[in-house]
Amino acid sequence: MQSLHDASTIRQFERLGVAPGWRCAELGAGAGSVAQWLSDRVGESGWVTAIDRDTTLLEELGTRSNVTVVQGDLMVMSFGSSCFDLAHSRSVLMHLEDPDIVVERLVRALRPGAVVLFEETDGAPAQYAASTADIPTPFRDVMLPLVANWTWARTLAARLVALGFTDVHDDVREDLLVGASPGAAFWRQTLESIRPIVTDAAHMESLGRSTVSDASYDAMIELLDNPAFAVPFAARHRVSARRPKP
């Protein structure tokens, strides 16, 4: 994830004017590369709060004098009041049970004039391709169920407007999933990690979802290794906005 998207995230931060002295919240800090960049950028006069449910990979980051690592669940945690000049997420809020609640609660934690940057993904391109074109069966069986719930990002900009944000921008980039690419390598690793779950019939039945067969998984991984494979996959929404000053 870091190698695929850090460069574009940093370009967005630079466009938004992230500068020394800023106080930043990184929602879902993962392995910490974005929080590390922010730490370097804001300097000793600034501060970065790196939040994640699993902070195992953030121990070294937490030794920095201008970084606080917080282990917690975004759905239930309090962000404080007028704390931050920037709040950022990347492929995090879209997976929460009710991301709108998190965004609404986050508003109070932003200083007047603060900015947000939410980079979240919409599965619409894959769903549209499946309805209008002949796509490979393994992609239909394995990938489409994964992206079916990726719908929140498409309404995010309107949600921020409704909450009173200004300067709302939704930069949307549609991506192909191409075999033998860095993106395909990311999905190969992801599929391998979730395979025991989605091929477990009893577990999937308890969730009310269909089991994916091992044969379908094997075929999908083959496609990910094939440079001739390419299908429309996801739209990445980079939504930025500003909390108005009084």
Mean pLDDT estimate for the chain: 94
- Look at residue 167 and tell me whether its pLDDT is greater than 80: yes
Q: How confident is the model at residue 232 (pLDDT cuts 50, 70, 90)?
A: very high
Return the SS3 of 142: helix
Q: In this predicted structure, what is the pLDDT of residue 120? A: 98
Residue 93 has pLDDT above 80, yes or no: yes
pLDDT higher than 80, residue 207: no
In this prediction the pTM is 0.93
Judge: domain 2-123+150-174+235-242, CATH 3.40.50.150: yes
Torsion 49-50-56-61 (CA) sign: negative
Contact 163, 232 (CB under 8 A): no
Q: In this predicted model, which residue has the larger pLDDT, 4 or 202?
A: 4
Q: What is the pLDDT of residues 169-178, one digit of tens each?
A: 999 999 999 9
Burial 118-153 (b: 16+ CB within 10 A, else e): bbbbbbbbbbebbeeeebbebbbbbbeebbeebebb
Of the candidates 233, 10, 2, 246, the one whose C-alpha atom is nearest the C-alpha of residue 125 is: 233
N- to C-terminal Cα separation, the chain: 37
**pLDDT above 90: percentage of residues in the chain:** 86
Could you read off the pLDDT of 183-197 as tens digits, one per residue?
999 999 999 998 888
8 Å CB contact between 5 and 119? yes
Examine the pLDDT at 103 and tell me if it is beyond 80. yes
> Residue 12 region, left (φ>0) first, then alpha (ψ -120 to 50), else beta?
alpha
Is the distance from CB of 167 to CB of 241 less than 8 angstroms?
yes
| pLDDT score for 212 | 84
CB 94 within 8 A of CB 112: no
The H helix count followed by the E strand count for the chain is 10, 7
Tell me the β-bridge partners of 102.
none
Task: Give the pLDDT confidence of 115-149 residue by residue, as tens digits.
Answer: 999 999 999 999 999 998 889 999 999 999 989 98
Least confident of 27-41, 63-77, 195-209, 230-244: 195-209
What Rg, from alpha-carbon coordinates, does the chain have?
19
pLDDT, position 203: 75
The per-residue pLDDT for 138 is 95
pLDDT tens readout for residues 4-27: 999 999 999 999 999 999 999 999
Per-residue model confidence (pLDDT) at position 198: 80
Q: Would the pLDDT of 209 be above 80?
A: no
- Quick one: average pLDDT of 58-74? 97
